Amino acid sequence: SNTSDNDPKMPLQVPEEFEDRIDKSLWGKSIDPSKTDNTTTGVDTQIIYFQSMYEHRNECDYDLFEAFVVDFLDWTKETFKLASPDVNRRFRDFLRHNGVYIAMDRSFIATRLAELVNEEELPEWPPEELQKEIGRKHMNSRWDKTSPRHAEYFQPNSVSPPIVPIVQSKAEVQSATQMMQTRPPRSSHSRQPSNARDPNDRSHHLGTTPMRARFSSSASGQQFQLPPRLPILPRISSEPNPEVYETGLYESHLTREIINVGKFYNNNPTIQFGGEPFDFLDTKLPIFYDNCTRCALPVYSWHMAFSFMLKGKARQYYYDNLFNKELSFEQLVQRTKDRFHSLENRQMYMREWQSTTLRDTITANPDKTRLQCLDMTIDKLYLIQKGLPPGQQSETILRDQLLSACQGIEECSLALYKPGDTYEKLCDELR
């Protein structure tokens, strides 16, 4: 039997068929693809580890693609060519089965994998290739109608944090409100379960993002058409009072509500987004939602209060590029994310995430106790995770990374031998 289940240095189980072919000292560690002394065993170990991690997290489609691009940053055709042919073939087939298109042709698989690393968006499935893949084996992907992922994506039952539609006229507001009468109240902005759709997954946003355009046009635009996303209203009804509308008092009424939202941000820069490293818009949006709801500012007017939540670089970017452009609230959020939370930024956070260890924290802080250094490491990983791709935002992933970061520290050995099954339990045991 595989002993990796009980080995604290092996948080993920090695596939049985590869037990004798990997370098266990490299399992869970990153290799430098630029080095000239990389070996087939080392490259195989890296690929098999990441594939095992993706399987463990049940990642597919955009989440899998984004994780792949980040994890294999700087890998070239030459790096992938070092891998055993069966390892590359197994990895290619895994990506395809889980919704990430990579061509099956006469080209070297290493070439196709290297090309995928450099893609900026999830590759579009040619209709005939998609049907062929579904025919080979049912996919773990939204594109296979028989897959649970299809139902989760196209018929969502859970309520996400607000994705605000463009609602302008009184008739549109009334229509949106009627559509929402049977919808459950908005959930609190707590950490989402790992299998819940993340609101930052750009592949399902309403609007004209590249991913949305690709999904809606794939498969001849018929078989996999995205349904319209229902608007999500705040706890206080956002339908304007008809009497206010008709008497001309609506504009002054709205102005008062916007001013009230602004008062929450007076002399309180900690709840504003500045666009600096390790400052994440998604941590400030729930506060903004709550402030607008408290002030009864209608959803369709949130774009008018958006600038209140900005400071520094982000505020300057807003006035230079977004102000007076007639953008909806959702478009303002997406444009701001595109500017300050790019793929390059996420890659930077991923490198920081993978290189953060308790040992390095102890070395850099000789005046701190081991417990203080542990808390610093825990806090740093918790913060960095907010900048990672949507598929890596769960507590399970945070727990696994903390487990890895504490390896090799004698005081942690007992806690690591049989670690708690949740993030909070692991933190308590380490302390």
How much is the average pLDDT of 182-211? 35
Read off the pTM: 0.45
Structure confidence by residue, pLDDT tens digits, 203-246: 333 233 333 233 333 333 333 333 333 233 333 333 444 444 44
End-to-end CA distance of the chain: 32
Tokens 């941000």, located at residue: 265
Per-residue buried b or exposed e for 140-155, using 16+ beta carbons within 10 Å of the residue's own CB = bbbbbeebebbeebee
Beta-carbon count within 10 A of 116 CB: 22
Tokens 């690709």, located at residue: 214
d(CA 52, CA 125): 24
Q: Spell out the alpha helix ranges (H) of 7-84.
A: 40-57, 61-71, 77-81
Structure confidence by residue, pLDDT tens digits, 372-428: 998 999 998 988 888 887 778 788 888 888 888 888 888 888 888 788 778 888 888
Beta-carbon count within 10 A of 289 CB: 20
User: What mean pLDDT is reported for the chain?
Assistant: 75
Task: Give the residue from 157, 61, 27 showing the smallest Cα distance to 391.
Answer: 61
Indicate whether 202 pLDDT > 50. no
Distances (CA, A) of 277 to 67, 273, 343, 378, 384: 20, 11, 14, 18, 10
Tokens 């959803």, located at residue: 299
d(CA 186, CA 430): 35
Indicate whether 429 pLDDT > 80. yes
Tokens 């869970």, located at residue: 28
